[in-house]
Structure 1
Amino acid sequence: MITTTDAQRGLTLIEVMVALAVFAALGMLTWKATSQLADARQHVGAEFERWNAISNAAHRIGNELQQIVPAAGALRLDAGGATGRASGMSGGLDFTVPAGQDGLPARARFMLTERRLEWWLWDGSRPAEAPERLALLDEVDAVRWRFLHAGRWHDSWPPRDDPAAPPLPAAVTLELDLPDAGTLLRTYALR
């Protein structure tokens, strides 16, 4: 015979099943929350890396533009046009950089090729050889350059309507169309 004290010592099957259901629900909620936290952390990390790459590319471009040799023909927008297009190769921004160890000024170019903004460098002592190509930024839809001269912005340099323009504009604006960040503008003062 089972007394009341004996019945109160254990759990019934229903009580065990309810407890297991509660622990299973808590476990699922904890797993889902942890999974969402890990996904969010990964997304934030990827966003941080992208913005860091954009910032580094803009900084590198600014540093190079500040070093342009101020001589005739030192800066020009290639015949490909002011707007880079994502397919194939587009016009690039050509410029001359200071002399290297060989004493000869080198040629450089910022170029959009297959949705990648690249920095091309030619050796001053071997200008006919292929340039060294350094990737600055991936996933770029378009690149546009504008040039400030005499209080007006121009889409080409040297300006077609002012043959007496100085070798360098007062400022250069870079406009990047990025699929994940929209259109970014950066203006660099040259003098």
Structure 2
Amino acid sequence: MTQKAHRDAQAGLTLVEVLVALALFSLIGLAGFTMLDNILRAQSGTQGRLERLGQIDRALVVFSRDLQESDSGSVRHDETGITMNRTGTGLLSYQVPSGVLLRSLSRRDFDQQMIDGVNSIRLRSLDSAGMWHDSWPVEQTQSLGLPPTLKAVELQLGLREGTVRRLVDVPAGAEE
């Protein structure tokens, strides 16, 4: 009759059992660390994009507000930028020198960088006859011989991420 070696219940763990437990714990820890690292990388990439979107949105909101609060008769634009006379602020301009959308207040000699990474700017104006113009003001409408009224301005920015457009109604250009 063979006798089986019985272990005492209070003897503890064998070396093999401890090594297996350590190996399993190491694998679980490595998987957890890898998952945490991936989550942190995704969060930092998302945070950068959200900051960029915030910067673009703030600039477009300020541009819209400036245009809506300006005298429509003072709005002038061409392929290089736009100038307007905003109530309470004075002469205000938007231009893109060296890849930055720049907001300039002439009365205070103040330049504000709105968006960086701007490749191009395009402005168009919608007149009271429903015609689009690449520069403003225009001389006169052919049919009536009267100068047209400004209804809206479209700002189109070519950014490194793509093209952004904003159409702004000009309240002073409403039907009279």
Percent identical residues? 30
CA RMSD in angstroms comes to: 2.4
In the TM superposition, residue 135 of structure 1 has moved relative to its aligned partner by 1.3
Name the counterpart of 1:86.
none
1:16-165 equivalences in 2 (<5 Å): 16-71=18-73, 74-78=74-78, 81=79, 91-99=80-88, 106-123=90-107, 131-149=109-127, 150-159=129-138, 162=141, 164-165=146-147
Change (3 A) 1:99 1:9: closer
- The count of aligned residue pairs is 164
Contact 2:122 2:156 in 1 (8 A): yes
Q: Can you give the 5+ residue segments of structure 2 that lack an aligned partner in the other structure?
A: none
Q: TM-score, normalised by structure 2?
A: 0.81
Name the counterpart of 1:172.
153
Instruction: State the AA in 2 paired with 1:76.
Output: R
CA distance in 2, matches of 1:20, 1:36: 24
In the TM superposition, residue 160 of structure 1 has moved relative to its aligned partner by 6.0
Which region of structure 1 is more displaced relative to structure 2, 149-158 or 37-46?
Answer: 37-46
Which of 11, 14, 17 is the aligned partner of 1:15? 17
In the TM superposition, residue 114 of structure 1 has moved relative to its aligned partner by 1.8
Q: Which has the larger radius of gyration?
A: 2
Q: TM-score, normalised by structure 1?
A: 0.76
Name the counterpart of 1:128.
none
In the TM superposition, residue 152 of structure 1 has moved relative to its aligned partner by 1.6
CA distance in 2, matches of 1:52, 1:146: 24
Tell me, yes or no, if structure 1 residue 186 matches structure 2 residue 166: yes
Instruction: State the AA in 1 paired with 2:150.
Output: P
Q: Can you give the 5+ residue segments of structure 1 that lack an aligned partner in the other structure?
A: 82-90, 101-105, 125-130
